[in-house]
Chains A and B, each alone.
Chain A
Amino acid sequence: MNRTTRQWLALLPVLSVMLLLILGISLYAVAQSLGYAPIYGIDAFPTLHYYDLLWQQTGFWQSMGLTLYYAVIATVLALILGFFLALALVKQGRNHAWIHTLYKFPLMVPYLVAIAMVILIFGQGGLLARLSFALGWIDSPAGFADVLYSHYGWGIIIVYLWKQVPFMALSIYVVLMGMGNDTDEAALLLGARRWQRWLYVVLPQVIPGITSATLICFAFNLGAFEAPFILGGGFPDTLPVMAWRLFTDSDYNNRLTGMAAMVVIGLVLLLLIAIAGRLSRRVFQWQGAGHGR
């Protein structure tokens, strides 16, 4: 048994689970969306009929827009805030070890708990509403500005940020720490200005780490169901909520349309990952070229 075979064998348990769960289920979803569902007495494979029905859903494009809007805003904000948090942590060093534990706390808390927390604090019956009422700023707790349940999605974005800023910060912090100061100091000795060290030395080294962390958050936000379902503004829903509604509809035909919606989310995600991968590589090359000059 040579080394490669051994390596493959060692990977086999993980690989088989991944293939079965991810690839198997994805294929099943694609097949159902194309009309293969004998359980419901439907066997029209292959047909694009259910995708057709999906486009025809009232508000499909609004749903698509909302899904992208929540995902993009939350991811970009989390990236910016996470980046600054990571810088602050690096600057702190090990001075206050408890901060390093504290900021990771949201990572351990499930999303549903974060959602409940947002409702308890920002809802119209929440802490802030009751506090404003007690202080006489508003006439009744219901008069509190309705932050949640709107298409602006502040509730959803707050939940995503609370969970994902620490995640981004952790990923970027690890990259920054692993980088060490050697290259930065070398650039300093060679007479690089502050912005040049940033642009040509630090950034190219952290970008791969940032890209993967960003894509993980973005992929999650695009496909997430609970937060938009509970905190969203009702019709039009995001695509995952729309898919759930179609899938739980009493009409079995709608389930296949729901599957089509899931496949569309997957395709959008793959497309965006491909674009992001290409962009980050290009930035990387551009940085590399600049560095070489």
Chain B
Amino acid sequence: MFTLVRLTSILALSAVTTGLFAAQDKLAFRDAFLQDQLAWSEVTETARQEGAVDFYYWGGDDRLNVWLERTIAPKMAEMGVTLVPHRITATRDAVDLVLAEARSGKALGEGSVDVIWVNGENFYTLAQHDLLYGSFAPLLPNASAFEWDANDPRGLLNLFDFGFPTEGREMPWSGEQYVCAVNRDLMPVDATPHTFADLERWLTEHPGTFTYVKPPHYLGNTFVQEALYALSPLGASGFQQPLASFTPESLARLMAPGMDYLRRLSPLLANARNDLARYPENDSALMTLFQNSQTAMECQFGLYHVATKGALGQMPPRTEEIIFPVNNMIKNKNYLVLTSNAPHPAAALTFINYMSSVEAQASKLSEVGYPLGVDLWTLSAQDQQVLMAAMPAHFGVTQTELDANIAPDIHASLVTVLETVWLKYVEQHSDRPFEDLVRDAMAP
């Protein structure tokens, strides 16, 4: 009995010490990599030793799930890394897990999350709580496929995520644009709304034929952002500053026209009763209404969503994309982030690097229908051709028109205020003065 106890304690002790050494190794590896002192072959060799990568991502899209399992996982296996996909319903869950593990003292090499698919608010939260690996992105071999020049306005999407500096702490993976689509059986071409005033006019004549996803879901937040931009005198540029640069009065003045509009619109939305709308909770609830011809128009992130959903028979046959709202269609990128307590950092670097290769980007484009994360103009003519050939089709609009009407996201630090004010003022029809609501939402 006694020997058994002693044996187990020795085993436990040795396990602890190897764990300790492993953590130190990983720290040394991180510092060397971030100072650009490692050859890429050393990274891939360490990745092979680590053997796996834990990837946390929103798992609500079957095409993405299938692509990861059938196309990406075999490629990673060739590099000696097992891709372990963790499908989550909200990215927030992965952020919470990283935070909880970090707070319980799990350092680099000891956590359970390597890579998360993120953008905006979640990246901001990770950065605020110091949960990021470091400025790794520009050091990856495939970083050459991105525009990192701060003087080139086209590079802003790689350098700023919801107005918050990425500093290379996340690697762009996909581009996205918030696109509205209409069912031509219900809405003729000459009735197409291009501004928020057009939409209100249409809804006054056809109440209940439109709705948007309920904030704080990001699909809802984005619709609210576009209304704020289009109706504010300053446009999108007014919302690019951090929260600290606003007073409650100045922010209230900026937000009031958009929020007033949305409050006015709520009795006209689908399933509205007693002046209060019943908003869909997520994209599938939104699509159910649209597929059932209850709504004539829907908006979501998805530059190619009409093509990809249409190919699966999930769109009414005469669905077309529209330019709405003119000049204020939000375009952003989403990213792969490496966490501060990643269990397999080298394997994660290898994985992220492969995800931004032309090969992976082309198959993502054709098999999943997610827009490019890489910047086309940085690539060779041959690579450009490969990617152009993989692009899904547009219906009713051209890529040029879509490109001509883009706007950036609001600053990440404003998102919580937007959500809170929308919930109180637009959804709940609070009687309190608008400025008080904004002041409360801004209070830490």
- Residues of A at the B interface (CB closer than 8 Å) are 38-39, 58-59, 124-125, 140-142, 146, 149-151, 229-230, 233-236, 248-251
In the bound complex, what is the Cα–Cα distance between A151 and B273 (angstroms)? 9
Q: List 21 A-B contacts (CB under 8 A).
A: A39-B103, A58-B428, A125-B288, A125-B292, A125-B294, A140-B293, A142-B293, A149-B278, A150-B278, A234-B271, A234-B276, A234-B427, A235-B276, A235-B427, A236-B428, A248-B90, A249-B419, A250-B416, A250-B419, A251-B416, A251-B420
- Residues of B at the A interface (CB closer than 8 Å) are 90, 92, 99-100, 103, 121, 125, 208, 214, 216, 271, 273, 276-279, 281, 288, 291-294, 415-416, 419-420, 424, 427-428, 430
Contact yes or no, A234 B121, CB < 8 A: no
Contact yes or no, A146 B90, CB < 8 A: no
Contact yes or no, B292 A142, CB < 8 A: yes
Contact yes or no, B424 A58, CB < 8 A: yes
Chain A residues near B214: list those with CB within 8 A.
234
- Distance between B421 CB and nearest chain A CB, rounded to angstroms: 13
Chain B residues near A250: list those with CB within 8 A.
92, 121, 125, 216, 415-416, 419
B216 contacts which of A151, A230, A235, A249 (Cβ < 8 Å)?
A: A249
In the bound complex, what is the Cα–Cα distance between A121 and B336 (angstroms)? 42
Chain B residues near A248: list those with CB within 8 A.
90, 92
In the bound complex, what is the Cα–Cα distance between A78 and B99 (angstroms)? 44
Chain B residues near A230: list those with CB within 8 A.
281
In the bound complex, what is the Cα–Cα distance between A58 and B432 (angstroms)? 11
- Distance between B294 CB and nearest chain A CB, rounded to angstroms: 4
Chain A residues near B420: list those with CB within 8 A.
251
Chain B residues near A125: list those with CB within 8 A.
288, 291-292, 294
Contacts between the two chains (Cβ within 8 Å), count: 56
Chain A residues near B92: list those with CB within 8 A.
248, 250
In the bound complex, what is the Cα–Cα distance between A32 and B422 (angstroms)? 27
- Distance between A247 CB and nearest chain B CB, rounded to angstroms: 11
Chain A residues near B208: list those with CB within 8 A.
142
Chain B residues near A58: list those with CB within 8 A.
424, 428, 430
- Closest-by-CB residue of B relative to A129 is B292
In the bound complex, what is the Cα–Cα distance between A286 and B292 (angstroms)? 57
- Closest-by-CB residue of A relative to B214 is A234
Contact yes or no, B100 A39, CB < 8 A: yes
A150 contacts which of B125, B273, B415, B427 (Cβ < 8 Å)?
A: B273
- Distance between B216 CB and nearest chain A CB, rounded to angstroms: 7
In the bound complex, what is the Cα–Cα distance between A140 and B183 (angstroms)? 15
Contact yes or no, A38 B103, CB < 8 A: yes
Q: Mostly helix, strand, loop or mixed at chain A's interface?
A: loop
- Closest-by-CB residue of B relative to A249 is B216
Question: Given that A250-B415, A250-B416, A250-B419 are contacting pairs, would A142 and B216 also be in contact in the complex, using a CB cutoff of 8 Å?
Answer: no
Chain A residues near B90: list those with CB within 8 A.
248
Given A150-B278, A235-B427: 20 more A-B contacts, CB < 8 Å: A38-B103, A39-B99, A39-B100, A58-B424, A58-B428, A124-B292, A125-B294, A141-B292, A141-B293, A142-B293, A230-B281, A233-B273, A234-B276, A234-B277, A235-B276, A235-B428, A249-B216, A250-B125, A250-B416, A251-B420
Contact yes or no, A229 B278, CB < 8 A: no
Chain B residues near A140: list those with CB within 8 A.
293
- Distance between B36 CB and nearest chain A CB, rounded to angstroms: 34
In the bound complex, what is the Cα–Cα distance between A249 and B214 (angstroms)? 13
Chain B residues near A251: list those with CB within 8 A.
416, 420
Chain A residues near B273: list those with CB within 8 A.
150-151, 233
Chain B residues near A229: list those with CB within 8 A.
281
In the bound complex, what is the Cα–Cα distance between A124 and B289 (angstroms)? 9
In the bound complex, what is the Cα–Cα distance between A229 and B294 (angstroms)? 21
- Distance between A50 CB and nearest chain B CB, rounded to angstroms: 15
- Closest-by-CB residue of B relative to A251 is B416
List of 8 A-B pairs having minimum Cβ-Cβ separation, nearest first: A125-B292, A234-B278, A142-B294, A58-B428, A149-B278, A39-B103, A235-B427, A149-B271
Contact yes or no, B279 A234, CB < 8 A: yes
Chain B residues near A149: list those with CB within 8 A.
271, 278
- Closest-by-CB residue of B relative to A233 is B278
- Distance between A125 CB and nearest chain B CB, rounded to angstroms: 4
Chain A residues near B430: list those with CB within 8 A.
58
- Closest-by-CB residue of B relative to A143 is B294
Chain A residues near B278: list those with CB within 8 A.
149-150, 233-234
In the bound complex, what is the Cα–Cα distance between A11 and B124 (angstroms)? 49
- Distance between A229 CB and nearest chain B CB, rounded to angstroms: 7
- Distance between A64 CB and nearest chain B CB, rounded to angstroms: 16
- Distance between A41 CB and nearest chain B CB, rounded to angstroms: 8
In the bound complex, what is the Cα–Cα distance between A82 and B430 (angstroms)? 42
- Distance between B207 CB and nearest chain A CB, rounded to angstroms: 12
- Distance between B95 CB and nearest chain A CB, rounded to angstroms: 9
Contact yes or no, A146 B271, CB < 8 A: yes
- Distance between B121 CB and nearest chain A CB, rounded to angstroms: 6
In the bound complex, what is the Cα–Cα distance between A5 and B273 (angstroms)? 62
In the bound complex, what is the Cα–Cα distance between A212 and B416 (angstroms)? 45
Give the interface centre of B208, B288, B294 by most chain A CB atoms within 10 Å.
B294
- Distance between A13 CB and nearest chain B CB, rounded to angstroms: 24
